[in-house]
């Protein structure tokens, strides 16, 4: 399952300017999908300022990627933005507990993200009987 984008038209200001902002769409399904040896696992966790939605991609029992598709974390709502998550999860074993460094200035939000990813990986391993 790919993560789609949707566009939101934002208007306003004194000049009536309009801008289109691309926003990662939340996962359509909570079911895992498998393609090309990779398994994509949608997850939802509880952040400090609301839900954290995303997907974790696993290949050969390693995390390939973690993408947050929706989060209101942080003053600017970018505490868990892709440029801040970076490669923190990449290459880690796809089993809890995950040893991931927190994002500076977003420690609790990062902990909540890690918890959500760990819970999703544990449910997947149990459902698939993966040890």
Domains observed in the chain: 26-128 (3.30.390)
**Cβ contact 106:75 at 8 Å:** no
Retrieve residue 57's tokens: 């991609």
Q: Beta strand pairing status for 33-35 and 38-46?
A: antiparallel
pLDDT at 30: 64
pTM score: 0.74
Q: How many CA atoms lie within 13 A of 18 on its CB side?
A: 4
CB 90 within 8 A of CB 65: yes
pLDDT at 130: 65
pLDDT tens string for the chain (131 positions)? 333 444 444 444 444 444 444 444 444 556 778 788 999 999 999 999 999 999 999 999 999 999 999 999 999 999 999 999 989 999 999 999 999 999 999 999 999 999 999 999 999 999 986 66
CA-based torsion, 64, 85, 27, 2: positive or negative: negative
């Amino acid at each position: 399952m790919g993560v789609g984008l949707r566009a939101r038209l934002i208007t306003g200001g004194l000049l009536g300017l309009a801008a289109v902002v691309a926003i990662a769409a939340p996962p359509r399904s909570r079911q895992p999908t498998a393609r090309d040896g990779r398994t994509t696992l949608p997850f939802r966790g509880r952040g400090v300022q609301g839900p954290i939605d995303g997907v974790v991609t696993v290949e050969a029992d390693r995390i390939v990627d973690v993408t947050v598709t929706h989060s209101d974390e942080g003053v600017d709502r970018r505490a868990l933005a892709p440029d801040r998550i970076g490669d923190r999860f990449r290459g880690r074993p796809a089993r809890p507990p995950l040893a991931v460094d927190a994002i500076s200035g977003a420690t609790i939000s990062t902990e909540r993200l890690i918890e959500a990813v760990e819970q999703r990986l544990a449910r997947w391993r149990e459902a698939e009987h993966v040890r």
